[in-house]
Structure 1
Amino acid sequence: MNNNAMTVEQRLNQLEDRFAIEDLIARYAWALDTGDVDALVACFVPDGAVIEDVFEEADHWRGHAELRRLGEHYRNVPNFPGRQHHVTQIQISGAGGKRAVRSFAFVSECQNEPPFPVRFAGYYEDQVVKVDGAWLFSERLIRLWDGPVLRNFPGHGEKIARKRPPQLVIRPNPN
């Protein structure tokens, strides 16, 4: 719908939805970075999924039980406390109760004194849905800043295969 044709109420609803979706993104980061597994799982619909397409093979976690295992894994990685997930440049498209969201992401590692190194630079491609008035992730795709997103640059556009660091080997339970 054209912004000029929108009523004031429609514009306010659109803004309200945007703020709620941005809050969902912040709740996810705070839950992950503070080891709050229950809050992390609560960011997703019951059959929601995280797909980490960073290394040679993508990892998939679908449903609250697998997402709980993902959150517990990160809570127990010895060098994870001190990381902070930062999300910027949030773009939201779609209408109604389902939206597509993409955003820049980087992770800093605050282990000791500044300067804090950047541990990860990439982006999210999310699907969010409104359930009983609340926005939740139905899918969260995590990607490095390479591959198809850079296809407009000469010599870029192919995914670069990366080996997984040993401490981050995560495989969902197939059962």
Structure 2
Amino acid sequence: MSVRESIADLVARYAWAYDTRDWDALIACFTPDASLTLRVTGGDLVGPFRGHAEIMRLMRDSAAAQDDRRRHVCTNLVVDLSGPGAATARSYLTLISVRDGRLDVLSTGTYTDEVVQAGESWRLRSRHIELDLPSDGRRPR
């Protein structure tokens, strides 16, 4: 598998793991010292959440607050190698909600990832999520 294919696989594994609540697979996407930040529509930076425990607390709390089924669709992946075993990956996110027989786009956004090679696979060392709208679809005030 090429570097780009391996990183695309990592981005997809993250989305699948979150959407299916496979917490072991989700945390395996991150290095132990990883960090995660997010911002909604130019608002304040949320985070950083550092390390497996903080990232998983955020993910589980976010999932517990949802009463729908989410689908994180990741597209337009761009990978730039930054050194041996290190790269920056950027991709688009389309967040879809499935509820009561309806599909709704809740938000779009971007992922900016710093990834590192860990043996045969790649892991997220940092992830920044930039959402264009809050995930409940309401415009920020």
Q: Is the 8 A contact 1:35 1:71 kept in 2?
A: no
Shift >6 Å, 4+ stretches: none
For residues 117-164 of structure 1, what are the alpha-carbon distances to aligned partners after superposition, in whole Å with 9 as ceiling and x for unaligned? 100111111110001221000011111349xxxxxxxxxxxxxx935x
Unaligned runs of 5+ in 1: 1-14, 147-160, 164-175
**2:80 matches 1:93:** yes
2:58 aligned residue = 70
Matched, 1:35 2:21: yes
Alpha-carbon distance in 1 for matches of 2:130, 2:21 = 22
- Distance change in 2, residues 1:18/1:51 (3 Å): same
Aligned match of 1:133: 120
Determine if contact 1:127/1:139 at 8 Å carries over to the other structure: yes
Q: Please provide the CA RMSD for this pair.
A: 1.9
Tell me by how many angstroms 1:29 deviates.
Answer: 0.3
1:82 paired with 2:60, answer no
Letter in 2 for 1:21: I
Q: Distance in 2 between matches of 1:18 and 1:102?
A: 12
Aligned equivalents of 2:12, 2:100: Cα separation in 1: 24
> What residue ranges of structure 2 are gaps of 5+ in the alignment?
134-138
TM-score, normalization by structure 1: 0.70
The answer as to whether partners of 2:109 and 2:130 remain within 8 angstroms in 1 is yes
TM-score w.r.t. structure 2 length? 0.85
| C-alpha distance in structure 1 between counterparts of 2:119 and 2:46, whole Å | 29
Q: Write 1 or 2 for the structure with the bigger share of strand.
A: 2
User: CA offsets per residue over residues 47-95 of structure 1, 9 Å max, x none?
Assistant: 101111116322221101101102211231142x411000111000015
Q: Which has the higher contact order (CA 8 A, sep 6+)?
A: 2
Higher share of residues assigned helix: 1
1:140 and 1:38 mapped to 2: Cα distance? Answer: 18
Query: % of aligned pairs identical?
Result: 34
- Between structure 1 and structure 2, the one with the greater Rg is 1
The aligned amino acid for 1:98 is A
Cα distance in structure 1, aligned partners of 2:37 and 2:13: 18
Which among 44, 51, 55 is matched to residue 30 of structure 2? 44
